[in-house]
Structures are given as structure tokens and as C-alpha cells.
Structure 1
């Protein structure tokens, strides 16, 4: 098992993997800040580094865009990392490479895409859909039937009322209360949530 990334976020993921009995052989990073994490060596890699395609891995990087870039560049056998103190319904679909932290609740008929982060204490209610590369930050709460588009970041302590659709590559600032649909590329802050800017670049149409 390889963990790709050596930041503080990586520490949490390594801790989860070790806690569920998965041996981490090494940690790799393009710009490592440490030589080891929990006694596991960290190796420097570049975009040109070639890995065996049959290697199991988790991408431990908080940036949604960088996780996508790495996932597309390196065809690892990506695995999930689900904390044993999370509460995930057996009627949930979770995509490859997704990580679920401690004290998370995910209720029935939720669909979570690839390489998502469901961070500490987050709540994802019934029938939500989280597309690939989404990050739900600590203590955020999505009520039922919420859709979060690819690459969007829902900040710490955010509340989203039922039935809302958040577009692709949107950012919901910490503590916001989302009561209206959010378009692609929008940044939303406040209570009630309001759009303060929208990124309409082609990058957000991918």
C-alpha cells in the first residue's frame, strides 16, 4: 500500500489505514516536508515517476484538483479508507480512493464518488449524491437529497438544507448555510449563503 501525499491530511489517512489493519509500505510526495510519518519512510517523487499499476494506493492530498490530476496520471488500484468509528449505512455506495474520517455519519442510499474526502464529524443524510473529488469538511451537514458536483469543497461547519444542488468545482465557505442551489464554480459564504464570486473558466466545465 502506498499513500500519495505527506501532509497533515496524510497523517489522518495513514492513521486510519493502520487502525483497520492495512500495512502502509511507503508514503510518497512531490515535496515532502518530513522523512517519515509514524515511522514509515517518505519518498520524493515527480510527475514522471512510474509506479506498478497493480499497487494499492490512497491519495492523501486535500486539494480536489490535485487529487484528480494524480488519479488520472497514476492508474493505481485505489482503495477506500474508512475509519472504524464512522457510521456508514450498508446501503451506501462509495467509490474507489474515497476516505471517511472518524465520527462521520452517512445514511442510506447515499452515493459517493471516487477520491472524495468525508472529513471528521461530517453528516451526509439519505439520498445524497457526491460526485468525484468532492471534499466535505469537518462537521459539515448535508440534509437529505443534496447533490454536490464534481470537485466541490464544502467547508467546515456548513449546513445544506434538503434537496439542494451544488454545482461542479464550487466552494462553500466555512459556516455557510446553503438554502438555494449553487451554480458551477461559485463561491458561497454567510448565513443565509450568498454567492460572492463565480469562476466561469473552462477548467470548471471538465
Structure 2
């Protein structure tokens, strides 16, 4: 019996749970700091807060995954789980196509319809959302989120903590810095520096610094 613990009882968490069960996990449960007010997430139970998750291991669950959309928070929670000696799972939906010559780091999730091609390297704690594509030789640093239907052409580099919005596209060979927000439907055709939000076709800088509005 393989049991997976999921931190974050949200809509995103539901998709992680569904993907995990499709991928062969036998049972999932959620932990969330809204417990005990929040006792369930769809058909799955919420059994405790994060502090309780750190205390429970062994027969309670075999591994854990963090289903929190905010990139910085997700990485921080992953680090706390690792420090507590809790193994981090990588969840790949069976309909995702991941090249045998690509690499997914610890704590990643790859949802239905995702494609990751040969030579791509995906860092720890990344989210490859429904129908996202990551083409050959891309490099995604830790904590990146590629949203549903977003497309990265070959050789794209994404810095740690960056977010590519739904339906956005990035041209071949482009480098995007750390903590960048690429807006929904944007087309990135040139390099982007750290800590900015870009929108539009072609993408242009909307905002510099601060926490990006991720909707």
C-alpha cells in the first residue's frame, strides 16, 4: 500500500491527488493549516496541519508532495519536509510524455498532457501544468511553474521561482531570469531580466520588483 501525503488542500491539490492515484499511488491524504476547520478536499480527507505532517511518518505515509502554487512558499515547505527526513515524491500523470533523456527533480508534478522532450532539465519543486510543453534542452531551475497550455521552445532557460502564465509561449533559446511572471497569453521573444512581470505580444515589462500578481 503506497500512501502519499499532500500539503495544500486546494484546487491545485485536487489535481495533484488525482494525478498521483492515476500514477499508481494507492491512497492520498491532505495536510493544510486550515485544519480542523477544513476537513476535506473533494473526496480526500484533510488529516492535520503542517506541524502534524512533520511529526507523522513511517506507516502514516510513504512520501510527500507540496501542492502550493506560490513558488517561494512551495520551496520553503519542501525544505522543511526534507529536514524532517520525509521523502519527497515526484508525481507524473500517466498521460504525460517525459523523454527518457529528460530529468525531473524531486517534488515536481507533471499533469495530464504534459510533454517534456529530450535533454530538458527540470529542477526540484517545479509544476508542469496541464498540457504544458517543455521542448528539447530547456533548463528550468527550482520552483518554476509552467501553467496550463504554456509552451517553451527548445533551449529555453527559466530562472528559479519564475512563472509562465496560461497559454503563454517562449521563443527558442530565450533566457528568463529569476522570479519572473510571464502573463497569460504572452509571447516572449527576447531575454527577460530577474524580478519583473512581462505581458503582451511581444512580451514587454509591465512591472519591476515586488510580488507579481499571479491571479
Normalising by the residue count of structure 2, what TM-score does the alignment of the two structures yield? Answer: 0.87
Shift of 1:36: 2.0
Consecutive unaligned residues of structure 1, counting only runs of 5 or more, are 202-206
What CA deviation, in whole Å up to 9, does each residue of 1:150-180 have, x standing for no partner? 0000000111001100001100000000011
**Secondary structure of 2:12's partner?**
helix
Alpha-carbon distance between aligned partners in 2 of 1:53 and 1:182, rounded to the nearest angstrom: 42
What CA deviation, in whole Å up to 9, does each residue of 1:64-103 have, x standing for no partner? 1110110122212001100101111111111000000101
4+ runs of 1 displaced by more than 6 Å? none
Residue 33 of structure 2 corresponds to which residue in structure 1?
30
What CA deviation, in whole Å up to 9, does each residue of 1:6-31 have, x standing for no partner? 00000000001111221334210112
Consecutive unaligned residues of structure 2, counting only runs of 5 or more, are none
Shift of 1:38: 4.8
2:66 counterpart of 1:59: yes
Normalising by the residue count of structure 1, what TM-score does the alignment of the two structures yield? Answer: 0.91
- The counterpart of 1:174, out of the listed 169, 184, 205, is 184
Are residues 197 and 47 of structure 1, via their aligned partners in 2, closer, same or farther at CA, if it must alter by over 3 Å? Answer: farther
**Secondary structure of 1:188's partner?**
strand
Over the residues paired in the alignment, what is the CA RMSD in angstroms? 1.9
- The counterpart of 1:15, out of the listed 18, 34, 44, is 18
Q: How many residues are paired up?
A: 201
Are residues 36 and 184 of structure 1, via their aligned partners in 2, closer, same or farther at CA, if it must alter by over 3 Å? Answer: same
**Secondary structure of 1:72's partner?**
helix
